[in-house]
Amino acid sequence: MSTARITFVFIILAILSSACNKSAKEIQPNIVFIMSDDHAWQAISAYNHPIGELAPTPEIDRIAEEGMIFHNMYVANSICGPSRACIITGKFSHINGFKNNGNRFDADQWTFPKVLHDNGYQTAVVGKWHLKSLPQGFDFWQVLPGQGHYYNPDFYTATDTLRVEGYVTDIITDLALDWLDTIDHSKPFLLMYQHKAPHREWLPAEEFLDLYHQIAFPEPANMFDSYENMGTAARDAEMLISEHMAVTSDNKIHPDIAAEKGIEPFLRWYNNAYHNNLNRMNSEQRANWERVYGQINEAFRNSTLTGDDLTSWKFQRYMQDYLACIKSVDVNVGRVLDYLKENDLEENTIVVYTSDQGFYLGEHGWFDKRFMYEESFRTPMLIKYPGVIQPGSASSLLTQNIDFAATFLEIAGISIPDEVQGISLAPLFEGKGYAENWRSSLYYHYYEFPSIHMAKRHNGIRTDRYKLIHFYNDIEEWELYDLQNDPFEMNNLINKPDYQQTRLSLEKELDSLMIMYQETPKTEW
């Protein structure tokens, strides 16, 4: 071979080697955004909480093992629809206009899926949408009306409304995988794969109906909280397992048996929900349901539970069904991860697992979310990005769900508009952007009052150690918590002399955040 030909061959090999060794950042990655509904971080075993250890989530844990777990991921507004609006716009509720579940999302506004679509991404959203207006910026969408149903759910499509036989978590995954089979794998894609589960009323799939019925889950130390050292809002909230959780629709006891026991529903629709959920089932589904829950109903009928004993029983029933719903999510996440691997898509795909907010699993005696207290304010987040994120890594920096939009644009090589209020997490993936370059505090604002659960309107600030909350609507109260010394937020320090300088500093920083985020005047709250 001549010297010229040898030289030519080496040049070609060098070019090929250079192309093969491009970093993931130089190639637009695929994005699989997995979001469940009301999935508490405590119920993911990667977070090493006792509940997660008893009800493990090995498939979701794979994302942490192969990527990064975030220990301080928070939401901007802990309620379903508004949280989702914050995610797709990268903006707080007062900017995107979707403050509570009674609002309708302005789908004509800027969203990151639209931008990715306009920049060559194939885009789809399947599952829970919950924004009232129809999706925009997607090549394909099939979404649940409102909250949707666990069994034989209805779906909106671009042309029709249809009912699909089966269990909602399995169906949403089938839709996601079917779409992935139809697209061009040589081009980048965004898949927003969004589950209804484990939203109330927690109906497990047939194969998991009695999965956890033999396990006694540990009660939180503050499950019988008296709120002695908290504020009016905590005492007035209507989310107690003892009083406001339905023995019928939530705990699956027939309304007639509940009535025999002298248990009246806190809200009348609880009994209607019980019947409506079961009436959607076909004969086989209903038979499997009755096989498991018939025994539970008979045992309850023959019991003498009252007071704290009844509350403890309700807590166990809650945990058993809630966690069984999560089991289906976990199994189906595994199906998607396996698909990516088997179809050679894994190496250039960023996978995110998160929830639209956290959830109370008995802490302070509660279920549900809404408050700025940690369990609902904090949400899980696990991200894997082969070749960029080191497997088994972790971040404890303050991150927020308004950050997703900026993150996805940056990793796709698309400029981030100034109007986006979140910041890209991409520098954290490779160990950059730490310490002095990162945010030192988070802003929060919740608006939905008066409404179900009666969590009062409030805004506030969280730093790495402290939290200041301002309840401003029908009451005027402030709460201050030292999260280092009081991680379960049992002692409001707002009037303690030793904390007055801290309070003043936090109030000043809260004002700065409100200015930075262009918060609307208080008269409009």
> Is 480 a residue whose pLDDT tops 80?
yes
Residues 403 and 504 in one domain: no
Residues 327 and 188 in one domain: yes
Higher per-residue confidence, 9 vs 175 = 175
Residues 70 and 191 in one domain: yes
Residues 408 and 426 in one domain: yes
Q: Where are the alpha helices (DSSP H) in 66-167?
A: 80-89, 93-96, 112-118
> How high does pLDDT run on average in the chain?
94
Distances (CA, A) of 386 to 30, 122, 220, 346, 368: 11, 21, 37, 8, 35
Query: Please, are residues 252 and 321 in contact by the beta-carbon 8 Å criterion?
Result: yes
Q: Determine what percent of the chain is predicted with pLDDT higher than 90.
A: 92
pLDDT at 524: 85
Lowest-confidence region among 25-34, 205-214, 342-351: 25-34
Residue 463 lies in a domain: yes
Give the tens place of pLDDT for each residue, 264-295: 999 999 999 999 999 999 999 999 999 999 99
CA gap 454, 431 in Å, rounded = 42
Query: Please, are residues 143 and 126 in contact by the beta-carbon 8 Å criterion?
Result: yes
CA gap 211, 205 in Å, rounded = 10
The dihedral built from the CA positions of residue 222, 228, 234 and 237, taken in this order, carries a sign that is positive
Residues 174 and 54 in one domain: yes
> Is 323 a residue whose pLDDT tops 60?
yes
CA gap 77, 83 in Å, rounded = 6
> Is 161 a residue whose pLDDT tops 90?
yes
List of residues 6+ apart from 114 with CB closer than 8 A? 136, 137
Residue 256 lies in a domain: no
Mean pLDDT of 134-152: 97
Mean pLDDT of 147-152: 97
Distances (CA, A) of 37 to 91, 147, 335, 428: 20, 10, 19, 26
Give the tens place of pLDDT for each residue, 392-428: 999 999 999 999 999 999 999 999 999 999 999 999 9
pLDDT at 27: 86
Domain span at 405: 36-203+320-436
Residues 53 and 177 in one domain: yes
SS3 content of the chain, % helix, strand, coil (to 5): 40, 15, 45
Pairing between β-strand 68-70 and β-strand 477-482 as defined by DSSP bridges: unpaired
Residues 60 and 194 in one domain: yes
CA gap 384, 350 in Å, rounded = 6
The domain that contains 466 carries what CATH number?
3.30.1120.10
Residues 186 and 72 in one domain: yes
The domain that contains 405 carries what CATH number?
3.40.720.10
pLDDT at 3: 41
DSSP state of 472: -
Q: Domain ends where: 436, 464, 496?
A: 436
One-character DSSP codes across 281-333:
S-HHHHHHHHHHHHHHHHHHHT----HHHHHHHHHHHHHHHHHHHHHHHHHHH
Query: Please, are residues 237 and 366 in contact by the beta-carbon 8 Å criterion?
Result: yes
Q: For residue 355, give the 3-state DSSP assignment.
A: strand
Q: Where are the alpha helices (DSSP H) in 452-499?
A: none
Residues 413 and 469 in one domain: no
pLDDT at 14: 40
Alpha carbon of residue 404 to chain centroid: 13
> Is 6 a residue whose pLDDT tops 80?
no
Q: Domain ends where: 436, 452, 471?
A: 436
Lowest-confidence region among 164-173, 192-201, 429-438: 429-438
> Is 1 a residue whose pLDDT tops 80?
no
pTM confidence score: 0.94
Q: Which two tokens stand for residue 8?
A: 């030519």
Quote the number of domains for the chain.
2
> Is 434 a residue whose pLDDT tops 80?
no
Give the tens place of pLDDT for each residue, 483-506: 999 999 999 999 999 999 999 999
Reported as type and span, the H/E element at residue 12 is: helix 3-20
Give the tens place of pLDDT for each residue, 59-96: 999 999 999 999 999 999 999 999 999 999 999 999 99
pLDDT at 249: 97
pLDDT at 475: 95
> Is 32 a residue whose pLDDT tops 50?
yes
